Structure formats: C-alpha cells, structure tokens
C-alpha cells in the first residue's frame, strides 16, 4: 500500500530582524497554512531593530548574537556585526548541522548571502535568495567574499533573484542561471485600504516622502540638497520613514533638515500604507537598486515616484511606468521638475493591469518559491 509523501518542513534560515525575510515568512503562513514553516535564526532584535517575530511563530535558535551587538545602527556597528558573525561562524555551522540531523525532513530557504554560505558550509539542502547588495556591490569589494559567494551559489539547488540586473551578475559570477521571482507586495491589504480611501473625500495628496533606509547608499542627503537648492521649493516639507538607519549618517542629514521637515522613523506596514495614501511624491534614488518593494507599494497606493534609472524600470508593466518620473541628479533643477510631473500624475488614480496584479502579488511570488523547495 502506497503512503502519501509528507511535504518537507521549510526552514527559513535568515535573520529574524530582516523585514524582507519576515515578509516571505508571513506570506508562507497565510498562503499555505497546512504546511510547516519554521524560522532558524541568529538574530532577533539587535542594533535597535524592532522584534518582528511573536510567540505564535515556530522559532529555532542558533547562537543568538543580539547582546553582542551595538544598540544602534552605524558604520562601526555594521563592521562589528560582520566581525562577530565571522568569529562565531564555525559554531553556527555546528549548530545548523545538529539541527539538520534532528529535523531531517527539511529543506532550507536561505535568505541573504551570509545564510546561503552558512547553508553551504553545513551541507544542507537549500534554495538561496541573495539580497541586492549581496550581488550588486559586495563581490566587487572583496575577493574573499566573492570566492565564498560563488561556492555557495553553485551548491544551491536553485538561486532566486528579484531582477534582471542581479540575474546577469549571478550568471557572470558562477555560470549559473538564477530564477527571477519578483519581490511581491501585500496586494490584499493594499486593495482593502484603497477601497476604504475611495469613500473618503477629505484625503489629499500633498506629502513628499522618502521611504528607503537612512544610509549613504540611498542618497537621502541628495534628496534634502535637491529640495534646499530649489528656489520654488525651499519651504516644501519633506517626510522620512525608514526600515533601518545608520546613526552617524542620520545625524549628518539632520543638520540639513528644516524645522518643518518630519522624520517618522520605522512605522508599521498598515500605517505606512495610510501615509502613502496622502503622499503625492515618493523619492527613491539609491546608488544601486534591484527590485524595490517600497516603490511598487507606492505605485499601487497611487503615488508618483521619482527614481534614477535602474534596469527594473524596463521590466515594469506600462501602467506602473506611467507613475514613475525618471530624474537626473546632475540636473540642479530635478526636484522642481519631479514635483511638477507628480502634480499631473496624481490627478489620475492608479489602475493596475492584470499583468501588474499577477507579477506583484506576493502570494503568487511565494508559490513559485515553494515549487522550487518541493522539487
């Protein structure tokens, strides 16, 4: 008599303070409640990050390094965290191997390069999903990092990336073609909020908002400078919300802010969505970018978006491209031009195409991940 094969437990090998990884995990629980999804982590809430896991989550621990880290995010804190992770790496490998023996019917979803390398060194079965800077920046700064990146990517059962740009670089590094799976967004919640907002006549789009991290790579200082040198917009209020920040960079940019500017810090997802409903222009101009969820969320919530060109723009459906303003930071008048374009864009509601709804629904994205894990 044949017995049905029991699906493997999917282990999210990641930092539990990583909001991207936790978004995937939350999607998994919601989309496939009958499956067993667990978290295996070395980070929970260090460096001032908010705790993202709760008592209902099934969390297994490697050596938790939270207490060894700084209390705030900064360049020094980042260097120190990487040093600590390197020092404890052999012990984490030992713990992961021990875990894999106890829970043998498991497959690992390793999110970000450190955990992909950890899975490689521990000889477990894994699908690897590197983050943008893991591929776009770090391999070109360190030969050692590049060496281990190639080793870990080659051994992965599959590698998933969220953009064509990342795909090209992975293939050039190790001659392995990754699978492109878009960074899905919570369309279910966004559609609900949009429906509620249609019944409110008093909502006006006036905000100018930055929603990327407060670190040099996201060029927050350049946003402020663009506003400050614009004659017509010197008194235009800027708002900032960020999932993370470097303390020293934040202190540097605060010197450039006006008294009427507003720093919102890290806010809950639904609060962010409500803020975006009142936002006219979102500015996202990082030095490098892969496939930014925050840009897609802003579009679906009706904002105009100012970006510097990145390859992901060419892959967007035309309905999404129509909400985007491509700017040139070498043009001293870019801020004024962006606002003028945004004024016209937000006169019309955003109506997503069927293609946009399919490509950017995180439920569909995670179904693709699960198919890979179940192979």
Question: Does the pLDDT value for residue 1 go beyond 70?
Answer: no
Sign of the dihedral through C-alpha 221, 227, 229, 234: negative
Question: Does the pLDDT value for residue 4 go beyond 60?
Answer: no
Max Cα-Cα span within the chain: 80
pLDDT in tens, 346-371: 999 999 999 999 889 888 888 888 88
Residue identified by tokens 């949009």 is 194
Of 357, 304, 306, 302, residue with least CA distance to 331: 306
pLDDT-based confidence at 6, cuts 50/70/90? low
Side by side, the strands of the sheet bearing 304-307 are 262-265, 239-241, 207-210, 279-284, 304-307, 324-326
pLDDT in tens, 245-291: 888 899 999 888 999 999 988 888 889 999 999 999 999 999 988 88
Residues 6+ apart with CB under 8 A from 296: 183, 185, 320, 360
Q: What is the pLDDT of residue 303?
A: 96
Of 310, 271, 291, 289, residue with least CA distance to 360: 291
111 in Cβ contact with 129 (< 8 Å): yes
Q: What is the DSSP string of 269-323?
A: HHHHHHHHHTEEEEEE--SS-S--HHHHHHHHTT-EEEE---THHHHS-HHHHTT
pLDDT-based confidence at 130, cuts 50/70/90? very high
Sign of the dihedral through C-alpha 46, 183, 110, 4: positive
Of 183, 209, 354, 362, residue with least CA distance to 277: 209
pLDDT in tens, 183-234: 888 898 898 888 877 666 567 889 999 999 999 999 999 999 999 999 999 9
pTM: 0.85
- Provide φ and ψ at 149, rounded to 5°: -60, -50
56 in Cβ contact with 29 (< 8 Å): no
358 in Cβ contact with 364 (< 8 Å): yes
Report how far residue 202's alpha carbon sits from residue 222's, in angstroms, rounded to the nearest whole number.
32
Question: Does the pLDDT value for residue 339 go beyond 90?
Answer: yes
String of b and e for 44-77 (b: at least 16 CB within 10 Å)?
bebbbbeebbeeebeeeebeebeeebbeebbeeb
Report how far residue 328's alpha carbon sits from residue 307's, in angstroms, rounded to the nearest whole number.
9
Q: What is the pLDDT of residue 196?
A: 76
Q: What is the pLDDT of residue 143?
A: 93
Q: What is the pLDDT of residue 3?
A: 40
């Amino acid at each position: 008599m044949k017995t049905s094969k029991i699906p493997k437990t999917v282990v999210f090998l990641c930092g539990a303070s990583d909001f991207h990884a936790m978004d995937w995990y939350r999607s998994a629980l919601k989309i496939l409640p009958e499956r067993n999804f667990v978290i295996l982590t070395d980070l929970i809430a260090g460096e001032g990050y908010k705790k993202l896991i709760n008592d209902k989550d099934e969390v297994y621990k490697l050596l938790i390094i939270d207490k060894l880290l700084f209390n705030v995010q900064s360049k020094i804190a980042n260097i120190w965290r990487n040093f600590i992770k390197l020092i404890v790496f052999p012990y984490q490998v030992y713990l992961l191997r021990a875990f894999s023996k106890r829970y043998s019917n498991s497959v690992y979803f390793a999110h970000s390069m450190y955990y992909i390398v950890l899975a490689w060194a521990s000889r477990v079965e894994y699908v690897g999903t590197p983050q943008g800077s893991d591929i776009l920046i770090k391999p070109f700064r360190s030969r050692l990092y590049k060496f281990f990146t190639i080793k870990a990517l080659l051994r992965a059962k599959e590698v998933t990336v969220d953009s064509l740009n990342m795909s090209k670089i992975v293939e050039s590094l190790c001659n392995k073609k990754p699978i492109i799976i878009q960074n899905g967004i919570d369309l279910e919640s966004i559609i609900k909020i949009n429906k509620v907002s249609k019944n409110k006549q008093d909502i006006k789009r006036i905000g100018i908002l930055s929603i990327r991290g407060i670190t040099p790579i996201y060029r927050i200082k350049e946003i402020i400078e663009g506003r400050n040198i614009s004659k017509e917009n010197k008194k235009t209020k800027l708002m900032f919300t960020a999932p993370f920040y470097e303390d020293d960079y934040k202190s540097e940019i605060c010197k450039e802010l006006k008294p009427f500017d507003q720093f919102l810090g890290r806010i809950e997802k639904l609060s962010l969505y409500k803020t975006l409903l009142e936002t006219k222009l979102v500015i996202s101009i990082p030095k490098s970018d892969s496939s930014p969820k925050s840009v897609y969320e802003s579009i679906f919530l009706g904002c105009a978006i100012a970006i510097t060109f990145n390859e992901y723009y060419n892959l967007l459906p035309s309905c999404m491209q129509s909400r985007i303003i491509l700017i040139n930071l070498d043009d001293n008048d870019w801020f004024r031009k962006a606002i003028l374009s945004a004024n016209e864009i937000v006169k019309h509601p955003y109506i997503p195409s069927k293609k946009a709804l399919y490509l950017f629904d995180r439920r569909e994205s995670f179904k693709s991940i699960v198919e890979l894990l179940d192979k």
